Structure 1
Amino acid sequence: MTNAKAYREAWEKQPIFKGWITKNHADSIASGKGEARCKYCNVPLRAHATDLKKHAKTSSHIRQAESRNRKQQPSLMNHVNPSVKRELKIAEIKMALYVANHSSIKSVDHLGEVLKQLGKGSQLEKVRLHRTKASKLILNVVAPEMLIELIKDIGDQDYSVILDESTDVSTVKYMAYCVRYFSNTCNQFVTDFLGFDEVSSATADNLYKNFREFFSKVGLNLDKLDGKKPPKLVQLSDTRWLAWTNAVTVVLKQWDSLKAFFTKLESSPANKDITARNLGQMYRDESNILYLLFLDTVLKEVTDLNIAFQKANADITKLYTDLRILLLSVARRIFKPIYLKSIPSKTASTAMIHQADIAAVQRAISKANCDFDNSLLPLDSVDFGYKFSMYLTKSTISSENLQTVKVRSRSFMLKLCEELVKRFPDNISVLTNIRYFIPKLCMDQTSNVSVECLPWDLAAQDADRDAIERQWRNLRTMRISEICDNVDENISTIDFWIAVNKIENANDSKQFKDLAAFALRALSLPTSNADVERVFSVMAVIKTKCRNRMLIDMLVSLMRIRIHMRVFKLCCKNYMPTDDMVKRFTSQMYVVSGLIG
């Protein structure tokens, strides 16, 4: 006679048995091992309520139950509905953006805790963000998606690349890449940061190899790189013109006060400062104020031009014209007119005339200070400026000192001419022909600007020349007012061609598609390396002596976020993370690397 009892399924609903009790397998019941079974401990039990309750109190069962509950406990995010879960992800991404833009990553440890305390009873209480998660969000979520957005925005368009190398605080040498292109998203030209490439060997072959590998990994088509033989970039001046001109102007405005102050200080018996005495002597020397009066005018012209070249969207059609004007203006102050005379043929184009002018200045420079056939004007015939001449009328400077000042001033202008000539690219004719994209010239109904005048060297290899020629003729039948609403004749060249690119015909297709693409491609040429210099300024702010162990991946990610936000005029307060960023926000971000760059 057995003491077996039937298994009751009602036990499975009782709180004390729920979750772990189940009916045993039929073969186990037949062999007399028990009618019930514990799912946690995987042991057979008799179908006696007393036995089941005793088993529930055993240490082994309690230990297994606790372990099972920990494994099956859903995460906090699983209790949240999808919309709230997305909102939490967006909140944490925006916090990571804030940290990337405005502070160190370590500070997010405290920021996250403060927000949790202040946000009790709200969704902020559920935010879980510390330095590890913030780092991975920056490195593997936000920065890669911003790079993807940039590559998509460039698309199949032509673009220009600006690059430069520098060394960071930890003496690692980097090559920085910036890309300039016409953004359909912003409807304007933008220059954005592509990334860094660590330079191990600065040979030409290695730099070229690294360049190609970098662009292959990023995913940009090198065939769309603008310019078969791009013009040399106009370097930022090695001498700090922007600081010099302000310093000279301030000193001149306060000359009398400074002179009186240091003269009095010099004569004081209690003063033993050798610097003060030297300054007192310098302010009493009229040679110095004469030289500064000369510099004041010249430096202002150079500063204005330098500022123009550093603009993000400078009009390339006007920049080199202004550079040529400054060169000829300075050259005519120191060279004999006969050496600056260029005699191009009667059929010479504007580009040929400009090249002849520059060549004439180069010849004059080469013959400066020659014993025979000297191209420089005598000192008494050199134009040193109105302020210089007016001061001489009331000056008591000795003839010897005056001669010294004049020689220094003329040497300065000669050196300035040499440097300005270096700023012109070898293919200046191409840049000169870009001027035919200026609205006033290309829309002038009285002139006969041939399509042959356009800078064809900058056209894409697959450009449809027949279509461009046809569209050029059609465009010249229109007026500027038909293309751009509420604008005057001084509209910038870039804005004009952006408007042309939008014009549609009766078939709702772009009427000047090929011509506008050609113009925008030519106008995308960079005019200076100022943008890439700014990249290194951002790097210096991020990678300091205190953060000199930062790896290149994190450095590039932080820089990409900061520069991308600045270029597109975004802020962490109003930036909305994209759907792709939210999709990337998974546990996989802890184990995968971001994109190259």
Structure 2
Amino acid sequence: MSIVSAIVRILQQWDELKTHFEIARRDERCFTAQLLYEMFSDKKNYVFLIFLKHILGEVQSVNKKFESEVQDPTKLLNDLVSLVDSITAKIIIPGRKLKEGESLQNHLDPHPYLGYEFEKEMHQCKIPQEREIRERCIQFVVELAEQLRQRLPDNVKVLKKMSLLSVNECLNQIKPGILELAQMFVTNEEILTRIDFQWKKLHYMSWNQTSNTLDLWAEIASYRDASGENPFCDLSDLALTILSLPHSNADVERVFSHMNIVKSKLRNRLNLKSLNAILTIRYGLRRHGSSCHTYKLPQEVLKKIGTLRAYEATTQQPGSSKDEATLYSEEEIGDWELADLE
């Protein structure tokens, strides 16, 4: 969505760009400069960019929330739904509510208000093609709204219940039930019953991490009662499963970027196990606010470094003894370098 910043820069330097291309077409006889000069001389393009600046600005704001690493996942879907509703409301008849899957074309406002700056510019310029410009803006919003609506999942009404997992909702004494959301991920009736009971008694406990949703559920998952058991294990497993779902492709792209940094051309022989271990360590240290320079390895790990015991498989085949544990190959052992932790 860098197009928004580009539009802002173009609008700020409109007259300068127009003059630049006028000189270029006159002195250099450049055909491209001639086309650009004609575009900058057309006031319709200027007004249309003013309209786009605010519409795409709203979209970019929500898009940045999905790309952020510190967002509250329980609010992302509601932000997307609110964006669709706000954009749709700009062009349909006021007070009209659309049914699911209903076309916008049948409910368009004949005289929609397209924003203060746009309306002011239209009034000052008095462009003869005002109707054409307005129709162009309306059709852009219609297409944008349709594209956003297509990206909403079919079960959006149920997924909106993810907000129940937020700090304010789950610790509230009066709160809706969680079964409708839980049934999307759990089919066992016994587990669903336990989740329901655990949900209803969650607010009776005193929790420390009440400022962040993820930190709260991490605390709930690690809680132990007097007998050493977690009375909220089923509920916390459900919550962490839902909260760990990727809400956009930003996280996936971020992992691929880190993978390309780790597995460079000079280290192209890294196998999958080593690569996965390095990335796991990277994200683990980052999650705990540490780094390879400040993290202190346990003594038992330090004693294994430089010995074959450090490369023994962590899992054993059924029926095999500890001494029969499979060892990694020499090639795999060579991949484990201290530099890999950086």
TM-score of the aligned structures, taking structure 2 as reference length: 0.76
The answer on whether the counterparts of 2:169 and 2:175 sit within 8 Å (CA) in structure 1 is no
256, 280, 285: which one aligns with 2:37:
280
Distance 1:437 1:498, change over 3 A: same
Deviates more, 1:450-459 or 1:274-283: 450-459
Deviation, structure 1 residue 462: 8.1
In the TM superposition, residue 442 of structure 1 has moved relative to its aligned partner by 2.5
Conservation of the 8 A alpha-carbon contact between 1:501 and 1:517: yes
% identical aligned pairs: 28
Number of aligned residue pairs: 311
Deviations 1:369-418 (A, max 9, x none): xxxxx33222xx123222111111221422x2x33322222121111111
1:405 and 2:121 correspond: no
Query: Looking at CA atoms only, which structure, 1 or 2, has the larger radius of gyration?
Result: 1
Counterpart Cα distance in 2 of 1:412 and 1:287 = 15
Letter in 1 for 2:245: L
Residue 331 in 1 paired to residue 88 in 2?
Answer: yes
Q: CA deviation at 1:313?
A: 5.4
Distance 2:236 2:276 in 1: 30
SS for the counterpart of 1:534 is helix
- Note the alpha carbon deviations across 1:173-209, whole angstroms, 9 max, x for none: xxxxxxxxxxxxxxxxxxxxxxxxxxxxxxxxxxxxx
Q: Report the CA distance shift for 1:576/1:437 in structure 2 as closer, same or farther (over 3 A).
A: closer
SS of residue in 2 equivalent to 1:363: coil
Letter in 2 for 1:456: Q
Unaligned runs of 5+ in 1: 1-241, 343-358, 369-373
**Contact 1:293/1:387 (<8 A) preserved:** yes
Query: What's the Cα RMSD here?
Result: 3.5
The answer for the alignment partner of 1:28 in structure 2 is none
Mapped partners of 1:438, 1:288: distance in 2: 44
Equivalent residue, structure 2, for 1:186: none
Matched, 1:248 2:7: yes
Query: What's the CA shift for 1:448?
Result: 4.7
Q: Is the 8 A contact 1:262 1:280 kept in 2?
A: yes
Higher strand share: 1
Q: Higher RCO, 1 or 2 (CA under 8 Å, sep at least 6)?
A: 1
| Contact residue 21 and residue 34 of structure 2 kept, 8 A | yes
1:384 aligned to which of 108, 111, 114: 114
User: TM-score, normalized by length of structure 1?
Assistant: 0.46
Separation of aligned partners in 1, 2:103 and 2:225: 54
Whole-Å separation in 1 of the counterparts to 2:292 and 2:220: 34
CA 1:483–1:571 in 2, change beyond 3 Å: closer, same or farther?
Answer: closer
Distance 1:285 1:314 in 2: 42
Select which of 195, 208, 219 maps to 1:468: 195
Q: String of CA shifts for 1:397-451, please: whole Å, max 9, x gaps.
A: 22x2x33322222121111111111211122233122222222223223x35235
Q: Does 1:436 align with 2:164?
A: yes
Please name the residue that 2:270 is paired with. 554
Residues 333 and 382 in structure 1, CA contact (< 8 A), matched pair in contact too:
yes
Q: Which AA in structure 1 matches 2:133?
A: V
* Pairing 1:590–2:330 present: yes
Change (3 A) 1:307 1:592: closer
The Cα of 1:248 is off from its aligned counterpart by 1.0
Query: Residues 516 and 573 (structure 1 numbering): CA distance in 2 closer, same or farther, change over 3 Å?
Result: closer
Q: Output aligned runs, 1:240-389, within 5 Å.
A: 242-266=1-25, 268=26, 270-312=27-69, 314-337=71-94, 340-341=97-98, 359=100, 362-365=101-104, 368=105, 374-378=106-110, 381-389=111-119
Matched, 1:500 2:257: no
Q: Is the 8 Å Cα contact of residues 464 and 514 (structure 1) preserved in structure 2? A: yes
Which string of whole-angstrom CA distances, capped at 9 and with x for unpartnered residues, describes residues 108-135 of structure 1?
A: xxxxxxxxxxxxxxxxxxxxxxxxxxxx
